Amino acid sequence: MIVCVCRKVSDRDIERAARAGCASFDDLQMELGVATCCGRCAECAQQTLESATHKQTVGARAACAPRELALA
């Protein structure tokens, strides 16, 4: 899904940037240029970044947790 039409940035681009270390909206703007033109994508880009960051955290916890906890 395209999040930023002006900069042609997709949700996958944002997820990839989050995995590469973009942890804040400012980082994301500098890396991908989202919300630097018309700004209409700002809220969606922020939510996509938060979701991607949350997925990473949950994934890391699951990978590090004992098997019984990871399956709970």
Q: Which of 38, 58, 62, 65 binds ligand FES (CB under 6 A)?
A: 38
Site for ligand FES, residues 15 to 34, rule: CB under 6 A: 34
User: Out of 6, 10, 46, 51, which residue is the one contacting ligand FES (CB under 6 A)?
Assistant: 6
Chain centroid offset of residue 34 CA: 12
Which member of 41, 48, 49, 52 binds ligand FES (CB under 6 A)? 41
Round to whole Å and give the CA distance between 68 and 31. 38
Q: Which is nearer to ligand FES, 31 or 56 (CB)?
A: 31
Shortest Å distance, C-beta 26 to ligand FES: 15
